[in-house]
Structure 1
Amino acid sequence: MKSAKSKTRLNEIRTPARSRQNLNGERDPVQVYCRLRPMQRETDISCMKILSPTTVLLTPPSTALSYRNENIRSMKYTFKEVFAPETSQQEVFDKVALPLVEGLIKGKNGLLFTYGVTGSGKTFTMTGEPQNCGILPRCLNIIFKTINDYQAHKYVFKPDKMNMFDVQNEAEAMLERQQELHKFKSGKKNNSNPDLAMSSTDITKIDGINEDNQYSVFVTYVEIYNNSVFDLLEDGPPNTKHLPVKIIREDAAHNMYVHGVTEVEIKSAEDAFNAFYLGLKRKRMAHTNLNAESSRSHSVFTIRLVQAPVDEVGEAVIQNKKFLSISQLSLVDLAGSERTNRTKNTGQRLREAGNINKSLMTLRTCMEMLRENQVNGTNNMVPYRESKITHLFKNFFEGEGQVRMIVCVNPRAEDYDETLQVMRFAEMAAEVEVTKPQIHDVAASIGLMSGRRKANRLFNTARDHIARPEAKDLELDLGLVYSLGPDFPSLELNSSQASHIIKELVAHLEMRLSRRETLKRSKALKDERLRSALLELEKESLEVRSENSSLRAQLAASERRVRALEERLTVTESASISHQRKLAEMTEYTSTLKRELQEKDLLLSQYKLEKEKQKKILERKYNNKIMVQTEKAKEIISEKERLRNVVEDKENRLRIIAEALNQNDRGDNIHNLDIMRSDMAAQTSVRDFTPGSTPRALPAHLLTPFSQQTSHTPASSRRGVAVANPRHRRSLSADGKGWVEHAPSKMVPMGTVMKPSISSSKVVKKLTSVKDIANSKTSKYCLISQEQDTDGELETKLYKGDVVPTCGGGAQVIFNDVEMLKQFSPTRESSGTNRASASCARHSGKRREPTISPPQTPSNTSKKQRVDED
């Protein structure tokens, strides 16, 4: 059991604004505002309609679960004010949060929280966006704009870890500032978003601030996750999984607070944004089916303003803890209520949603119980302790403070069932009343006069001016303060024997009278000095006026000269602009001509290159043709000489045989001689056929298979020319794919062993289309020709080459191989080789000569011309 002395001491350290109760019983209702979110899609259907600035109409859609229960009945709900979807953040702040900030500076407590389903715009209303900040950044900006000139030095007010503050002198505060500077000498990371800091021109300063007080701002940032409290500003890793759980306690003034929470002293809005963004990074957010960034916890950002009066001199704070005034503004961003059948949450998200809905249900239950107690006059217990969020703000509903709520609503028809419950809660919360806060001036209660700080500032300014060399002759009384002293003492005269009380009053009155006479004399003296100073100033003013008149005349002349120069400058600028425009046009025209000239030069160079290329090709063709004709002429002459020698040799042999036969039987020899002559005639007829003509019929004894014979072999056993045999088809050219087999139409029938066999080839008689050569599937070209050699034998030549595409989209043929096939008569004998061992000989003469040209046939010539033109 506590003693009476301890109770008295406990009451002395309480905050005066909190320790007193409102004896008059004045109460204010909870002010509830409604803000509608804009539609996300044009196809969405709205179930809400704004009837007036304070009333909305909620109509159930046919898809709602309560459509049948409500009997298709529309409901009207009234609020303090309804904000349309197009309402700006500034308008919401001015109507809702600005009065709470004014009360905070005057020493009143305030609570503002946003309520609604998930995805209805609660976080946007409280925090906002970088270029469109919400309520919290605007509160910080306007607070520091107002108290900027009256802030106490850092660490003058120091938290005592029990929801109160200690007052330190300037030396102690400076020592702690030096320790902090040494501790955080390394660069400190900036967590804020500079876009949220509003410019000074956009911030309205609050009037009515007490200039005789010194102020300090402290902030805390906590979150309530799964019904556990976590400190978001605590030193440690950024991961919230390692943050310890905090507990909620009650201080000496019966106010609830988070025990051991980190309370940061802020000296500017930028420092406040640093603290806010440090906690925002740790705040638990997650993705759900209804909201991409859904808050999974309730966040509470608390601003505590500590103010204390300065001493009678107007410089230092009074070193007394009981003269402190502490006001608090809590900004709460409640997590949105969720329905599992819509979010499809499972696991951890389902547990989070369950705790969120349970805490919101506890808040609603507490509101209903408070309303019932106030309406019916009962004293039922309110279940604050069932949820951390209601337990933390118990003193706001049962003590003194302003409570305001912004109901954020998504007017889509799909959210009607959740919106209906939100509207019912808002309607019930608007009927709850809280005690109206009272303001008490601590300085007036201890006899301190107002205007102390301003008088001290003026006094210091005057002393600095007097300290200048030109003011040494002035005689001023700097120690006099225009005050009659403290107020009358609070004395009570109960009996006539209390003479000492009368004497004390008489002494106090005499002191005040003497003080008054002294002030009158000082005032008269200063009035005289002021009068003389005013006369001097009047003389100086006349001199300045005359000087100003002459300067005005000079200024007028200068202005006229400036206007003339400006007119000339305007004309010159217009001419310069026109010249620049013409210069740009001429430059563009010159660049166009240069581009055309370059294009023509390029075309001309290409034309010259093509001409040179064609000239070289024609020269090479002409030279090759002459060389081929020369070689053929030489071969023909040598072959004729050889044949002449062969014929002479055979005639000599025949003459010798004839002479030998003449010695034997004359008749048989003559018969044999006729046979041999007929054989020679047959051979000669075979040799003398020309390409394209039909060979003469051979004797019957030459159509038999040929083998080596002596002069004694009977004529009936000789063999003739080898017949066609498919097994003897040549296959040397079957080495690739995509051949064009170009065989002229006028040729000897190819049903013999002389016919080439090329697989995967396209046979053409005449090149009538460029597509036969310029084809992506064609890579080889073969030109077949047949002619008679100097011996009268049939000779087949294959000119082979590669098809190469050209730059113009056509193709050209580069010959790189020649294959030659010959067929010899089986009855013909050669001087250099023995051909009697085989019925048919085949050989291929391959020469890798890329520059060789095939014989110019009409079809080949037309083909080359088409390829070159393409």
Structure 2
Amino acid sequence: MKSAKSKQRLNEMRTPARSKQNLLTGDRDPVYVFCRLRPMQRDADVPCVKIISPTTVLMSPPSTALSYRNENSKTMKYTFREVFPPETSQQEVFDKVALSLVEGLVKGKNGLLFTYGVTGSGKTFTMTGESNNCGVLPRCLNIIFKTINDCQAHKYVFKPDKMNMFDIQTEAEAMLERQQELHKFKTGKKNHSNPDLAMSSRDVTKIEGLNEDNQYAVFVSYVEVYNNSVFDLLEDGPPSKTPSAKLIREDGARNTYVHGVTEIEIKSAEEAFDAFYLGLKRKRIAHTSLNAESSRSHSVFTIRLVQAPVDAEGEAVIQNKKFLSISQLSLVDLAGSERTNRTKNTGQRLRETGNINKSLMTLRSCLEALRENQIGAANNIVPYRESKLTFLFKNFFEGEGQVRMIVCANPRAEDYDETLQVMRFAEIAAEVEVAKPQITDIGATIGLMTGRRKANRLFNAAKENLARPEAKDLELDLGLVYSLGPDFPSLELNSSQAAHITKELMAHLEMRINRREQLKRIKALKDERFRSSLLELEKELMELKSENMSLRGQLSTADQRIRALEDRITTTENTSAINQRKLTEITEYTSQLKRELQEKDLLLNQNKLEKEKQKKILERKYNNKIAAEHEKAREIHTENERLKSTKKEHEKIFKVIGQALKSGNEGGDNIDYPRSTGDVAAETYRDFTPGSTPRALPAHMLTPFSLAQNKETPGSSRRGIAVANPRHRRSLSADGRGWVEHTPSKIVPMGTVMKPSIVNSKVVNKLKSVKDIANSKTSKYCLISQEQDTDGELETKLYKGDVVPTCGGGAQVIFSDVEMLKQFSPTRESNQSNNISGPSCARHSGKRRETTHSPPQTPSNASKKQRIVIGED
């Protein structure tokens, strides 16, 4: 559903229908369409177009034409405003087509002239011409500057504002810009124009009806529409540079213009030709099968004439943009319509041909929609925006102005089909009407007297004459603008000349009466304007008074707000001061707490250092104790050696005694011989079981494992083998699987054969990454910890578990077993046990397995991919 705003915009885009009232009152003019035939290139060519009257042509299709078989198209007549035969001169075409457009341009009317036709039909020749035979465009420029030569404003008095309008500058500002331009271009610019196009002054006629009380300035711009994009051909840069694409916009009066286009102010026809040929070098031209220099774009050369009235003294331009009058004449050289099967274009040329034909079809569609709206009272939307070319011409068809079209045709039979389409397009265009422009004299509307500029020149000349010595007694009427005319003629009435003098007197009186009436009207208009100005000033005064009262009320309100804000600021400042004091106190308290914290940290560090010292002292004591134990072990070993030697001696003695007894008692077999000490020890060792504390073992049975390996004696070899028997090792610690042995960095050596031993295990002091446990080679985990029991003795615990992979790619440890190694003091055991006979002289390691013991509760590893419970003292 369309909004009201969009509907309003669509209504603005539609062209009002032509009614019978419009036709009767004559406030609209049709589009004047002229036809110009090109001369035949070869004598052997057969024509298909024939002129039957100054306004009518007859077309007969040849046998090779596509529409030859169509009976309705065999012979057709087309009527134009005027038909120019091949021998028509350029001057005659200009006088009948473009001269009225130039006259309208000078008087403030808009005009559009474009040439239309097939490629190679003479459009560019008609528009531009050639050396010594210039076309429409150079003749327009020559006659414009011939007409306004004496009324041109100084350069930069009118300056484009980049929004399709102009600003008016003072003479001082314009002079400053002229000096800057002179300093910038003190080296002469290169002339790109063709001097042959500049016509001599005797060949140019001056247009009558110029308002001499206005100052004029001419601005030109040159653009091309190529592949449905608009390019500025006068953009700064070398001619070889490709210009950038421009946008078409609408100004405040809904007039379309090329945004950012370069407009050059020119003061002569030569400067205009220079700009024209500079743009012509950048225009896209290519060679085709039908034309050696075929235009591949639509070129638009625009002449804008700006005029503004001078002040009452007839010197400077009135500094008011409302009094500006801007008229525009656009000279368009359309690219030729062509068929691909004739031009044989490919690639880029084919794309250009498609865009040219599309833009020309859009122009035809717009003219058809305009004709239907004006003739049939339809309300169709005119598709101006479908092409940049038609959107640029929108003002000429929907606004006020004059539109002229020159249809160029090649009468050859080969071009019949293309020429037929051109004639049909011309027939449609001739039925479109454009509103007539309304011309108003701006100077008269604001109460300025006609002829003030000429009167000012006469006045300045008279002042110069008064400055001469011989002209002191010369009387001069300084009110030239307000005089009623020349003096009365002679009033002498003679009989023979009475009638003649009476007629002259009557004409003179009528002239003076008309002049007086004109002055009265001007005075009344000035009085009315002065009265209106006074009323406006009084109205403005009343508005200013009411505004002053309103502003006073606002000022009092603002004063009250200011006082309230000042009170709030004072309160805020007091609160801020209190908060600042509190902040200072809190800062001091924080500093004090920090100092106390530092002192406590120092005390903690001192306590830590003292604990480290105590730890070192205990370690030294422990090491000393271990050294003493080792010393005792050596003493025991020495004692064992001594006992062994004593035993040997005793055995020798017993052997001698036995032999003596045997010899003395050969018949006594039931004698009970005493057993040796080794047999007693072996029997005692057989009674020992793991997990129990051996009692009353001989000292030589408690020899350290290392010493038993290094030194073997005949009497101790059996005992050493018994102690080092593999079945007495810890079976749960040597099963041969992939173990991770987590051992603290500082562990106390146990000094016993019962120490844990895991073959081919990976020993780590700290779990640093997940890969330490989560890998394919690890399936078991062992955590070793040491601590003191309640009696102060050293106790070693081994927490064992299985490593199980998790879903997230990590691993977790499930503890399943705990082994404990505990040190017992022989002294303590001898004191507590009454059943042990004899003092104990060696350390004893006991082993106890607790299968129901739960693993310690310790924090898990930091990684998200594993869950390992580890406890370490």
**CA drift at 1:489:** 4.1
| Contact 2:105 2:111 survives alignment (8 Å) | yes
Q: Is the 8 A contact 2:462 2:476 kept in 1?
A: no
Determine if contact 1:25/1:435 at 8 Å carries over to the other structure: no
Listed as ranges, the matches of 1:260-659 within 5 Å are: 260-476=260-476, 478=478, 482=482, 486-489=522-525
Normalising by structure 1, what TM-score? 0.53
Give unpaired runs (5+ residues) of structure 2.
Answer: 1-21, 484-518, 536-873
Alpha-carbon distance in 1 for matches of 2:480, 2:331? 48
**Distance (Å, rounded) in 1 between the aligned partners of 2:372 and 2:346:** 37
Letter paired with 1:237: P
Cα distance in 2 for residues equivalent to 1:477 and 1:203: 37
Instruction: Identify the residue that residue 31 of structure 1 maps to in structure 2.
Output: 32
Q: How far is 1:468 from its partner? A: 1.2
Question: For the residues of structure 2 that align with 1:464 and 1:423, how far apart are their CA atoms?
Answer: 64
Letter in 2 for 1:266: I
Contact 1:224 1:230 in 2 (8 A): yes
Aligned pair in 2 of structure 1 residues 387, 61: CA closer, same or farther (>3 Å)? same
Deviations 1:266-323 (A, max 9, x none): 1000000000000001011010000000000000000000000111111111111100
Q: State the partner residue of 2:818.
A: none
Question: Could you tell me which residue of structure 1 aligns to residue 109 of structure 2?
Answer: 108
8 Å Cα contact 2:449-2:481 kept in structure 1: no
C-alpha separation between the residues in 1 aligned to 2:251 and 2:476?
52
Match of 1:207 in 2: 208
Give 2:252's aligned residue.
Answer: 252
Superposition misfits of 4+ residues, deviation over 6 angstroms = 21-25
Q: What letter matches 2:245 in structure 1? A: V
One-letter amino acid of the structure 1 residue matched with residue 98 of structure 2 = A
Instruction: Give yes or no for contact 1:22–1:438 (8 Å, CA) kept in 2.
Output: no
Name the residue aligned to 1:689: none
Q: CA deviation at 1:237?
A: 2.8
Give the match for residue 191 of structure 1. 192
The runs of 5 or more residues in structure 1 that have no matched partner are: 1-20, 493-497, 502-870
**Deviation of residue 475 (structure 1)?**
4.8
- Share of identical aligned residues, percent? 82
Distance (whole Å) between structure 2 residues aligned to residue 475 and residue 73 of structure 1 = 81
Q: Is the 8 A contact 1:146 1:206 kept in 2?
A: yes
For residues 380 and 38 of structure 2, what CA distance do their matches in structure 1 show? 38
Cα contact 2:455–2:480 (8 A) shared by 1: no
- Contact 1:141-1:269 within 8 A present in 2 as well: yes
- 2:149 matches 1:148: yes
Following the alignment from structure 1 to structure 2, what is the Cα–Cα distance between the partners of residues 74 and 33? 20
Show the counterpart of 1:512. Answer: none
Take 2:475 and 2:414, find their aligned partners in 1: how far apart are those partners?
Answer: 83
The answer to whether the 8 Å contact 1:28/1:436 transfers is yes
Q: How big is the shift at 1:400?
A: 0.5
Instruction: Pick closer, same or farther for the CA change 1:477–1:25 going to 2, 3 Å.
Output: closer
The whole-number CA distance in structure 2 between the counterparts of 1:218 and 1:331 is: 14
**1:35 and 1:97 mapped to 2: Cα distance?**
14
Distance, in Å, in 2 between the alignment partners of 1:170 and 1:296 is: 44
Give, in whole Å, the separation in 2 of the partners of 1:24 and 1:247.
39
1:725 aligns with none
Helix, strand or coil for the counterpart of 2:215? strand
Per-residue CA distance 1:761-803 (angstroms, 9 max, x = gap): xxxxxxxxxxxxxxxxxxxxxxxxxxxxxxxxxxxxxxxxxxx
- Whole-Å separation in 1 of the counterparts to 2:49 and 2:470: 75
SS for the counterpart of 1:487 is helix
Q: Which residue of 2 aligns with 1:581?
A: none
Instruction: Give the deviation of 1:388 after TM superposition.
Output: 0.5
Larger radius of gyration: 2
- Separation in 2 of the partners of 1:390 and 1:240? 27
Q: Distance in 1 between matches of 2:140 and 2:477?
A: 45
Following superposition, the deviation at residue 222 of structure 1 comes to 0.2
The alpha-carbon deviation at position 24 of structure 1 amounts to: 6.8
Q: Distance in 2 between matches of 1:289 and 1:255?
A: 39
Distance 2:475 2:207 in 1: 40
Is this contact kept in 2: 1:33–1:405, CA < 8 A? yes
In 1, Cα distance between equivalents of 2:396 and 2:321:
24
Alpha-carbon deviations, 1:665-687, whole Å to 9, x = none? xxxxxxxxxxxxxxxxxxxxxxx
Cα deviation digits, residues 555-574 of structure 1 (max 9, x gap)? xxxxxxxxxxxxxxxxxxxx
Query: What amino acid is aligned across from residue 215 of structure 2 in structure 1?
Result: Q
Give the drift of 1:132: 0.5
Contact 2:192 2:278 in 1 (8 A): yes
1:36 Cα offset (Å): 0.1
Measured after TM superposition, the shift of residue 340 of structure 1 is 0.5
Q: What does residue 52 of structure 1 align with?
A: 53
How far residue 260 of structure 1 moved from its aligned partner, in angstroms, is 0.2
Shift, 1:472, TM fit: 2.3
In 1, Cα distance between equivalents of 2:472 and 2:405: 63
In 2: Cα distance, 1:372 partner to 1:186 partner = 57
CA distance in 2, matches of 1:78, 1:468: 67
Task: Give, in whole Å, the separation in 1 of the partners of 2:474 and 2:229.
Answer: 70
- Aligned residue type for 1:346: T
- TM normalised by structure 2 equals 0.53
CA drift at 1:490:
8.2
Which residue identity does 2:434 align to in structure 1?
Answer: V
Secondary structure of 1:112's aligned partner: strand
Can you list the C-alpha shifts for 1:411-454, whole angstroms capped at 9, x where unaligned? 00000000110001101110011111110111010000100011
Q: 1:196 to 1:258 in 2, by over 3 A?
A: same
Deviations 1:23-80 (A, max 9, x none): 9771111000000000000000000110000000000001101101245620000000
SS at match of 1:51: strand
Measured in 1, the distance between the counterparts of 2:156 and 2:349 equals: 42
- Would the alpha carbon gap of residues 457 and 53 (structure 1) be closer, same or farther in structure 2, given more than 3 Å must change? same
Q: Which residue of 1 aligns with 2:717?
A: none
Cα distance, 1:372 vs structure 2: 0.6
For 1:92, the aligned partner's letter is V
Instruction: Please give the alpha-carbon distance, in whole angstroms, between the structure 2 residues aligned to 1:389 and 1:330.
Output: 12
CA distance in 2, matches of 1:139, 1:480: 36
Query: In the alignment, is residue 166 of structure 1 matched against residue 202 of structure 2?
Result: no
Offset from partner CA, 1:98-139 (integer Å, 9 cap, x none): 000000000000000000010000000000001100000000
Question: SS of 1:488's equivalent?
Answer: helix
Distance 2:168 2:97 in 1: 33
Residue aligned with 2:373, SS: helix
Task: Give the conservation status (yes or no) of the 8 Å contact 1:401–1:436.
Answer: yes
2:222·2:299 contact (CA, 8 Å) conserved in 1?
A: yes
The alpha-carbon distance between structure 1 residues 361 and 105, as it changes in their structure 2 partners (threshold 3 A), is: same
1:810-869 deviation digits (Å, cap 9, x = unpaired):
xxxxxxxxxxxxxxxxxxxxxxxxxxxxxxxxxxxxxxxxxxxxxxxxxxxxxxxxxxxx
User: For the Cα contact (< 8 Å) 1:22–1:437, is it kept in 2?
Assistant: no
Q: Is this contact kept in 2: 1:22–1:435, CA < 8 A? A: no
Measure the CA separation in 2 of the matches of 1:217 and 1:441: 20
- Per-residue deviation, 1:474: 3.3
**Distance in structure 1 (CA, Å) of the matches to 2:28 and 2:314:** 36
Partners of 2:23 and 2:55 lie apart in 1 by 30
Could you tell me how far apart the structure 2 residues matched to 1:327 and 1:24 are? Answer: 25
Preserved contact between residue 22 and residue 436 of structure 1 (Cα < 8 Å): no
AA aligned to 1:312 is A
The secondary structure found in structure 1 opposite 2:482 is coil
Where does 1:1-80 land on structure 2 (aligned, <5 Å)?
A: 26-70=27-71, 73-80=74-81
SS of residue matched to 1:178: helix
SS of the counterpart of 1:358? Answer: helix
The residue correspondences of 1:690-729 to structure 2 (distance < 5 A) are none
d(CA) in 2 for partners of 1:392 and 1:22? 27
In structure 2, the CA distance between the partners of 1:71 and 1:306, relative to structure 1 (3 Å rule), is closer
8 A contact 1:240–1:283 mirrored in 2: no
After superposition, give the CA deviation of every residue in 1:698-755 in whole Å (9 maximum; x if it has no partner): xxxxxxxxxxxxxxxxxxxxxxxxxxxxxxxxxxxxxxxxxxxxxxxxxxxxxxxxxx
The residue matched to 1:247 in structure 2 has which SS? Answer: strand
